[in-house]
């Protein structure tokens, strides 16, 4: 997203659109991977509190990723409509800010999920 914003400010809208599509695909792949993590070991949230907590954390991150995907698609649609230009790119800037939040939240959440069992 940062690269898309930087490229857009240089006036290269075709590359910016390609980066937005790549970002969308990466988000979908990362979300599928995040969802597969608690499914792999067969963590049933109704058996114990730990699997329930893991599922809640994963759902929390994936809900935010879904919202981020909508925001990315919105920026792509505005760009295709000619409304997102190098001069008028506040939407893209806001989405980049949101993705900074989501990146930090996802890294911390999945690090805790992955490293906590090893610490026990």
Q: Mind listing the pLDDT tens digit for each residue in 11-37?
A: 999 999 999 999 999 999 999 999 998
**Do residues 79 and 17 lie in contact, with contact meaning Cβ atoms separated by under 8 Å?**
yes
pTM for the model: 0.90
Residue 108 lies in domain: 2-119
pLDDT in tens, 41-70: 888 999 999 999 999 999 999 999 999 999
The domain that holds 75 is classified in CATH as 1.20.120.80
**Domains held by the chain: number:** 1
């Amino acid at each position: 997203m940062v690269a898309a914003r930087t490229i857009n400010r240089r006036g290269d809208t075709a590359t910016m659109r390609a980066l937005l599509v790549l970002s969308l695909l990466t988000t979908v792949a990362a979300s599928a991977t995040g969802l597969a993590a608690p499914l792999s070991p067969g963590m049933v949230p109704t058996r114990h509190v730990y699997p329930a907590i893991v599922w809640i954390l994963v759902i929390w991150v994936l809900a935010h990723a879904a919202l981020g995907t909508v925001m990315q698609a919105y920026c792509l649609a505005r760009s295709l409509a000619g409304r997102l230009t190098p001069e008028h790119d506040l939407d893209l800037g806001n989405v980049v800010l949101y993705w900074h939040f989501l990146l930090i939240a996802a890294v911390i959440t999945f690090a805790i999920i992955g490293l906590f069992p090893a610490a026990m």
